[in-house]
């Protein structure tokens, strides 16, 4: 009786997670400071009315199988907007193409409802006069995690220590002038004049040049562990991504699907709209960089290079948890594990084999001691129990008999 | 034109009624006319192009072919253009002739293997590819519903200058202003039944895509992921299931889609500049797939 009560408490947050709602507010008068201090006008998505709509917009996170709702609220005094869920293969009604589904006008709400598909990396963007609205800044990354895990590429896929998203795009400041931005206000059914595209700023997650180190900092890789990089290109140029030398690189997925066979390459081309998932592993301590070339799709001319710093460390920052201790007992156990912790708040519990294959997981709200009843049918053996919190993670070896 | 050609032309005319598309048993006979003229794209846009046309009269369209493996293509190519051309299919063991104005060449071509082949003008570093002169020959034993896209990008000034004067270009400065699917674009492409994808839930649909332009194109599908079942380029992507496929110049692919739901879903170039035409949105590479019950 007591155990069932605990299980019910444990399962409660799970039931809540299955329905996931996001609010995105579409704005027409954002501001963006470029690396040369030039300030441009942008369009974009924000989560609150007081927030400047960022370029890119917020990263949306869902779990496989969730019923998701995106509430798009247009507060722009201008153009209609939509959300196209790029790669999610939603039905026509929710596809976000104005003349085939619906568009959301000033001070209206539109609701996009969909069942969250395969784990992977996707994009979302406005599809109204898409050439202008995407350049304007109305785009972002959408990540789908497998059910119950933030450390697996997909069910039975690659286990990783942590993941990073790297989104590339460009800015042509002329397209952000009032005289061009006003063109985007026309209805989607009319022809809209588009200027020549002359990008001058080449972005990684919205930043370029010195801004990258300032705003994005170092990308940490834990020595001898997998780190998962998600690359997406939402710009209008081609990218070649060059990975750090002396690291083990596996290209494992693209466009939200595993590749049949992982590729070992030291670079990859990513064309507009494509995404790639890359497992990076390093067996030596080093500081290096991921370099991205931006080239003109018409004539292959190299337009620009940007890079992010990558540092391999012996211990992931995630593991340097202060002031948290956990006690796992009895050990060995019969599948009912008692855990005492000084941490309180939301935590993910994961159990996986020595080979890294996940066998059980649970999300709980910790407040003092609790019990975790493992699923039936987990064979006896040695497992790793991972206790993952917003402050970091702790691992314990457990024996099941 | 000799009387021999007139007789063949009559036969060809009959064949061309079927859009130069059907394969008649084991031998497909056709005549292509290299000619140049102004193609009207509607919306007050027009382009000077040079094409492998289906008749002496310029209609702005390159004739495409669909054959079965081991079919024979009995092909006559007549150069009605003012410039010299050397039409050829690279990768095929054949002696290709240089054709001056008024010249013709007769080829008996056998395609053993499955694939998509590109017929193009090899002279001057494929200069006339910038003026539209290239078409596709798809060889496939697949019986699924198929659709054929010949993707091009055109710089209207270059294309006019090349068609008129065969002036050499600085390829490193190339910037197209028109983006075409079968010498059409959105919305005119909707009327091309060889291109417009129509099918039912559960159908196996094959889209044959060739990039005969000079720019890289990144084709994005709404609604469904597609499996790459053929590529003339990098074989490593075979079997991949993606929603966006990059095509380099000269590359051809076959995508397989099995729709799991009804609806009308766009397919478009995700270099969103290529969704424009003559500087206007959305008159570029944009069409839709229409899937019914
Ligand atoms: Cu918009
Ligand atoms: Cu998109």
Q: Tell me the domain boundaries of chain A.
A: 15-156, 163-174+180-313, 326-400
Q: Is the residue at B13 inside a domain?
A: no
Nearest to B220 among A195, A273, A297 (CB): A273
The whole-number pLDDT of residue B23 equals 43
CA A326/CA A398 separation, integer angstroms: 13
> Are residues B217 and B274 in contact, defined by beta-carbon separation less than 8 angstroms?
yes
The whole-number pLDDT of residue A12 equals 41
Q: How far is B265 from chain A (nearest CA, A)?
A: 7
CA B123/CA B87 separation, integer angstroms: 8
Per-residue pLDDT of chain B (293 residues; tens, 9 = 90+): 334 444 444 444 444 444 444 444 589 999 999 999 999 999 999 999 999 999 999 999 999 999 988 899 999 999 999 999 999 999 888 999 999 999 999 999 998 888 899 999 999 999 999 999 999 999 988 778 999 999 999 999 999 999 999 999 999 999 999 999 999 999 999 999 999 999 999 999 999 999 999 999 999 999 999 999 999 998 999 999 999 999 999 999 999 999 999 999 999 999 999 999 999 999 999 999 999 99
Mean pLDDT of A43-66: 95
The whole-number pLDDT of residue A397 equals 76
Q: Could you tell me how far CA A38 lies from the centroid of its own chain?
A: 28
More confident residue, B287 or A325: B287
From 3.40.50.300, 2.60.40.420, 2.30.42.10, 3.40.630.30, which CATH number describes the A15-156 domain?
2.60.40.420
The whole-number pLDDT of residue A313 equals 83
Specify the range with the lowest mean pLDDT, choosing from A180-189, A340-349, B14-23: B14-23
Instruction: List beta partners, residue A39.
Output: A33
Residue A20: which pLDDT band, with cuts at 50, 70 and 90? confident
> Nearest bound ligand to CA A28?
1
Q: Give the number of other Cβ atoms within 10 Å of residue A184's Cβ.
A: 27
End-to-end CA gap in chain B: 51
* Half-sphere CA count of A28, side-chain side, radius 13 A: 22
Task: Name which of B94, B84, B76, B178 is nearest B127 in CA terms.
Answer: B84
CA angle in degrees (0–180, nearest 5) for A47-A53-A56: 100
Q: What is the DSSP letter of A52?
A: P
Q: Residue A12 contacts by C-beta under 8 Å, 6 or more apart in sequence?
A: none
Q: Based on the structure, what is the number of domains in chain B? A: 1
Task: Name which of B146, B78, B150 is nearest B118 in CA terms.
Answer: B150
Residue A324: which pLDDT band, with cuts at 50, 70 and 90? low
> Are residues B109 and B72 in contact, defined by beta-carbon separation less than 8 angstroms?
yes
Here the tokens at position A147 are 């059910």
The number of residues in chain B equals 293
Specify the range with the lowest mean pLDDT, choosing from A261-270, A349-358, A374-383, B145-154: A349-358
Here the tokens at position A366 are 């910790």
Q: How far is B161 from chain A (nearest CA, A)?
A: 19
Residue with tokens 């985007």: A184
User: Residue A89 and residue B239: Cβ atoms within 8 Å?
Assistant: no
> Are residues A222 and A313 in contact, defined by beta-carbon separation less than 8 angstroms?
yes
Q: Tell me the pLDDT of chain A averaged across its residues.
A: 89
The whole-number pLDDT of residue A321 equals 54
User: Residue A271 and residue B241: Cβ atoms within 8 Å?
Assistant: no
Element (H, E) at B41: strand B27-42
| CATH code of the domain in which B114 resides | 2.60.40.420
Mean pLDDT of A341-357: 79
Residue with tokens 């198929």: B146
CA angle in degrees (0–180, nearest 5) for B41-B43-B45: 50
End-to-end CA gap in chain A: 23
Question: Residues A204-221: pLDDT tens digits?
Answer: 999 999 999 888 888 989
User: Residue A100 and residue B244: Cβ atoms within 8 Å?
Assistant: no
Q: What is the DSSP letter of A195?
A: P
Q: Is the residue at B1 inside a domain?
A: no
Interface pTM, i.e. ipTM: 0.90
A271 touches chain B (CB under 8 A): yes
Ligand 1: centre distance to CA B106 (Å): 54
Specify the range with the lowest mean pLDDT, choosing from A54-63, A383-392, B132-141: A383-392
Percent of chain A whose pLDDT exceeds 70: 91
Set of chain A residues whose Cβ sits within 8 Å of the Cβ of B174:
298-299
Q: Classify A326-400 by CATH class.
A: mainly beta
Q: Outline where chain B has alpha helix (H).
A: 3-17, 123-126, 156-165
Q: A15-156 with A326-400: one CATH topology?
A: yes
Nearest to A131 among B216, B263, B281 (CB): B281
Nearest to B222 among A95, A255, A297 (CB): A95
> Are residues A242 and A292 in contact, defined by beta-carbon separation less than 8 angstroms?
yes
User: Residue A274 and residue B224: Cβ atoms within 8 Å?
Assistant: no
CA angle in degrees (0–180, nearest 5) for A155-A159-A164: 105
pLDDT at A186 over 70: no
pLDDT at A1 over 70: no
pLDDT at A319 over 80: no
Here the tokens at position A298 are 């018409």
Q: Which fold has domain A163-174+180-313?
A: Immunoglobulin-like (2.60.40)
Q: Give the number of other Cβ atoms within 10 Å of residue A177's Cβ.
A: 13
> Nearest bound ligand to CA A80?
1
Here the tokens at position A214 are 């300032």
Domain that holds residue B54: 21-292
> Nearest bound ligand to CA A133?
1
Ligand 2: centre distance to CA A125 (Å): 6
Here the tokens at position A307 are 């890079």
CB pairs under 8 A between A and B: 133
């Amino acid at each position: 009786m007591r155990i069932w009560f605990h299980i019910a408490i444990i399962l409660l947050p799970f039931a809540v997670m299955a329905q996931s709602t996001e609010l995105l507010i579409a704005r027409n008068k954002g501001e963006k400071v470029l690396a040369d201090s030039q300030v441009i006008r942008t369009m974009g998505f924000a989560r609150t009315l007081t927030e400047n709509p960022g370029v890119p917009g917020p990263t949306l996170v869902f779990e496989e199988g969730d019923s998701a709702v995106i509430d798009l609220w247009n507060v722009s005094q201008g153009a209609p907007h939509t959300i196209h869920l790029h790669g999610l293969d939603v039905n026509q009604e929710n596809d976000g193409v104005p003349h085939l589904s619906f568009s959301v006008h000033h001070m209206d709400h539109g609701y996009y409802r969909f069942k969250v598909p395969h784990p992977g990396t996707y994009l979302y963007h406005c599809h109204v006069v898409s050439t202008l609205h995407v350049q304007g800044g109305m785009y972002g990354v959408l990540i789908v995690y497998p059910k119950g895990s933030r450390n697996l590429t997909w069910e039975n896929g690659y286990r990783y220590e942590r993941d990073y998203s790297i989104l590339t795009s460009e800015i042509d400041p002329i397209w952000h002038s009032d005289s061009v931005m006003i063109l985007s206000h026309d209805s989607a059914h009319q022809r809209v004049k588009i200027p020549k595209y002359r990008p001058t700023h080449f972005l990684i997650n919205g930043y370029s040049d010195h801004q990258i180190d300032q705003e994005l900092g170092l990308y940490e890789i834990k020595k001898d562990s997998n780190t998962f990089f998600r690359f997406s290109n939402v710009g209008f140029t081609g990218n070649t991504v060059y990975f750090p030398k002396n690291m083990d690189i596996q290209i494992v997925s693209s466009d939200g699907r595993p590749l049949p066979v992982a590729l070992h390459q030291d670079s990859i081309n990513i064309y507009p709209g494509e995404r790639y998932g890359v497992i990076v592993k390093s067996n030596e301590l080093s500081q290096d960089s991921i370099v991205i070339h931006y080239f003109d799709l018409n004539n292959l001319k190299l337009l620009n290079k940007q890079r992010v710093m990558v540092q391999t460390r012996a211990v992931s920052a995630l593991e340097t948890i202060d002031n948290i201790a956990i006690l796992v007992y009895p050990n060995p156990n019969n599948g009912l594990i008692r855990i005492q912790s000084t941490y309180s708040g939301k935590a993910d519990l994961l159990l996986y084999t020595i080979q890294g294959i996940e066998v059980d997981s649970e999300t709980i709200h910790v407040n003092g001691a609790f019990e975790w009843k493992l699923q039936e049918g987990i064979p006896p053996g040695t497992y790793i129990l991972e206790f993952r919190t917003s402050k970091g993670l702790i691992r314990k070896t457990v024996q099941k008999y | 034109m000799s009387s021999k050609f007139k007789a063949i032309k009559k036969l060809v005319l009959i064949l061309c009624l079927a859009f130069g598309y059907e394969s008649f048993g084991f031998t497909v006979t056709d005549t292509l006319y290299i000619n140049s003229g102004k193609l009207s794209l509607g919306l007050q846009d027009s382009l000077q192009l040079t094409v492998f046309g289906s008749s002496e009269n310029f209609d702005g369209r390159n004739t495409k072919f669909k054959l079965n493996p081991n079919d024979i293509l009995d092909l006559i190519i007549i150069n009605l253009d003012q410039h010299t051309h050397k039409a050829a299919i690279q990768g095929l063991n054949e002696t290709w002739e240089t054709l001056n104005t008024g010249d013709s060449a007769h080829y008996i071509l056998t395609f053993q293997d499955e694939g998509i082949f590109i017929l193009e003008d090899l002279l001057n570093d494929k200069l006339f590819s910038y003026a539209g002169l290239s078409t596709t020959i798809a060889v496939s034993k697949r019986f699924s519903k198929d659709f054929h896209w010949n993707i091009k990008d055109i710089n209207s000034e270059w294309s006019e200058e090349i068609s008129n004067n065969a002036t050499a270009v600085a390829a490193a400065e190339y910037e197209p202003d028109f983006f075409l699917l079968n010498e059409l674009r959105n919305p005119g492409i909707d009327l091309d039944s060889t291109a417009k994808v129509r099918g039912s839930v559960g159908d196996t649909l094959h889209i044959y895509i060739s990039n005969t332009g000079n720019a890289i194109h990144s084709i994005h599908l709404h609604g469904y992921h597609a499996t790459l079942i053929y590529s003339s380029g990098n074989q490593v992507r075979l079997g991949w299931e993606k929603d966006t496929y990059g095509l380099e110049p000269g590359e051809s692919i076959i995508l397989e889609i099995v729709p799991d739901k009804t609806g009308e879903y766009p397919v478009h170039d995700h270099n969103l500049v290529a969704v424009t035409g003559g500087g206007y949105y959305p008159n570029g590479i944009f069409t839709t797939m229409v899937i019914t019950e």
